[in-house]
Amino acid sequence: MNKKLKILLTGGAGYIGSHVLLRCLEAGYEVIVLDNLENSSRESVRRVEHLTGRVVHFCLGDIRDAENLDRIFTEHQVDAVMHFAGLKAIGESLAEPLRYYDTNVNGSVTLCAAMARAGVFRLVFSSTASVYGNQTEMPLNESSPRGSPASPYGWSKLMVEQILEDLASSDPRWSIGTLRYFNPVGAHPSGQIGEDSQGEPSNLVPYIAQVASGRRKHLSVYGNDYPTTDGTGVRDYIHVLDLADGHLAAMDRLTQSTGYKLWNLGTGQGFSVQEVIRGFEQACGQSIPHRFVPRRPGDVAQSWADPALARSELGWQSKLGLDDMLADHWRWQKMNPTGYTKK
């Protein structure tokens, strides 16, 4: 790995970005974080600095601000970008589609245009397994058909994927890797950084963690009539640190060739909602009150990855199991019951 790379992390104060930031610093990269702190806290970056003993150059700003991007690329000799900044709440995207398309699509276009002006052509992009939509054939590999996403959020990711593919075909200098994340959970084992769920979490594991800590009374399990082993939804949960390592492997690969590449980042194993509840009960030593309610609109029955391409092309595979993810998530929740306390 080329340790001298200087990488711009958009959204680097967020859940996934902060774990990638930590891994980048541990690997010896120089890193600049650009974040408008819309859904995060500067405290995550401070804690990463503390954990690694490294200093991060933090820029408060918006990815849609082209002048600010030009300034950053002029001031810093950036070699590559990892692009996490965006909005990710599916329900919110249904209520505010323009805000989602503006940040996720317009923001990505603005970023790529600024990169091209600055002569920076290496990019890793955060996409989602949601782009596969509702499929019956498992596991999902990169050639599986893209489905019809059930939300503006999912569409915004699919649109950006297409834009990036077109961009790479238009100019051979681009080297772009799209990573389709399955379901990231867990936290750094120190309990210092993790997912800062403001308000009511929509994702399963943060919700269970808040039930376990007494912040919520019970979990609603969305549907027990799916065609799965126990009737509840099945997902491929991946530890956020394994996911972070996948970014470094992708960046490494992008330094070796140009063009557009796409990789699934998942473990290859699916777990039902009931299996996750039981796993969390073991991790926290208490029972998780839950009740079955109708299916959540837009949810798919099952989704798990075929991670073979990432293994063969990136030399990456997940190492941590569901137990590690849930234990680490619980530690983070216990140590930070209301998330980062400082903005």
Ligand X SMILES: O=c1ccn([C@@H]2O[C@H](COP(=O)(O)OP(=O)(O)O[C@H]3O[C@H](CO)[C@H](O)[C@H](O)[C@H]3O)[C@@H](O)[C@H]2O)c(=O)[nH]1
Ligand Y SMILES: NC(=O)c1ccc[n+]([C@@H]2O[C@H](COP(=O)([O-])OP(=O)(O)OC[C@H]3O[C@@H](n4cnc5c(N)ncnc54)[C@H](O)[C@@H]3O)[C@@H](O)[C@H]2O)c1
Q: Of the ranges 12-20, 113-121, 165-173, 279-287, which one interacts with ligand Y (CB under 6 A)?
A: 12-20
Mapped onto helix, strand or coil, the DSSP state of residue 119 is coil
CB-facing half-sphere around the CA of 305: CA atoms within 13 A: 27
- Looking at the Cβ atoms of 18 and 269, the one nearer to ligand Y is 18
Distance CA 287, CA 271 (A): 18
- Looking at the Cβ atoms of 122 and 157, the one nearer to ligand Y is 157
Query: Least CB distance from residue 151 to ligand X, whole Å?
Result: 8
Q: Of the ranges 30-38, 208-216, 272-280, 334-342, which one interacts with ligand Y (CB under 6 A)?
A: 30-38
The count of other CB atoms within 10 Å of the CB of residue 255 is 13
Distance CA 251, CA 99 (A): 29
Letter for the amino acid at 246?
Answer: G
Peptide bond connecting 139 to the previous residue in cis, omega within 30 degrees of 0: yes
Query: Least CB distance from residue 184 to ligand X, whole Å?
Result: 8
Q: Choosing among ligand Y, ligand X, none, which partner's interface includes residue 107 (Cβ < 5 to 8 Å by kind)? A: ligand Y
Residues numbered 246-275 forming contacts with ligand X, rule: CB under 6 A:
273
* 90 near ligand Y (CB under 6 A): no
Query: Least CB distance from residue 41 to ligand Y, whole Å?
Result: 8
Q: Of the ranges 83-91, 131-139, 260-268, 331-339, which one interacts with ligand Y (CB under 6 A)?
A: 83-91
Contacts of residue 291, defined as CB under 8 A and 6 or more positions apart, other chains included, come to 218, 219, 220, 221
Query: Least CB distance from residue 168 to ligand X, whole Å?
Result: 23
Radius of gyration of the chain (CA): 19
* 211 near ligand Y (CB under 6 A): no
Beta strands in 52-107 (DSSP E): 57-60, 80-83
Distance CA 84, CA 123 (A): 11
DSSP H/E element including 302: strand 302-303
Q: Choosing among ligand Y, ligand X, none, which partner's interface includes residue 186 (Cβ < 5 to 8 Å by kind)? A: none
Question: Which of 40, 93, 183, 267 touches ligand X (CB under 6 A)?
Answer: 183
Nearest to 242 by CA among 195, 326, 186: 186
State yes or no: is 153 an active-site residue.
yes
Contact flags string 290-309 toward ligand X, x per CB under 6 A = ------x--x---x------
* 84 near ligand Y (CB under 6 A): yes
Q: Is the dihedral of CA 248, 250, 255, 260 positive or negative?
A: negative
Q: Choosing among ligand X, ligand Y, none, which partner's interface includes residue 62 (Cβ < 5 to 8 Å by kind)? A: ligand Y
Residues numbered 189-208 forming contacts with ligand X, rule: CB under 6 A:
202-204, 207
Contact flags string 54-73 toward ligand Y, x per CB under 6 A = --------xxx---------
Tokens of 197: 């769920």
Question: Which of 23, 188, 235, 247 touches ligand X (CB under 6 A)?
Answer: 235
Query: Least CB distance from residue 25 to ligand Y, whole Å?
Result: 17
* 233 near ligand X (CB under 6 A): yes
* 103 near ligand Y (CB under 6 A): yes
Residue 292 burial (10 A CB sphere; 0-12, 13-18, 19+): middle
Number of residues that bind ligand Y (CB under 6 A): 27
Which of 15, 132, 153, 226 is catalytic? The answer is 153
Distance CA 110, CA 122 (A): 15
Query: Least CB distance from residue 311 to ligand Y, whole Å?
Result: 20
Letter for the amino acid at 149?
Answer: P
Longest dimension (CA), the chain: 56
Contacts of residue 321, defined as CB under 8 A and 6 or more positions apart, other chains included, come to none
Distance CA 258, CA 260 (A): 7
Where do contacts with ligand Y occur on this chain (CB under 6 A)? Answer: 10-11, 13-17, 35-40, 62-64, 84-88, 103, 107, 126, 128, 181, 184
Residues labelled as active-site residues: 153
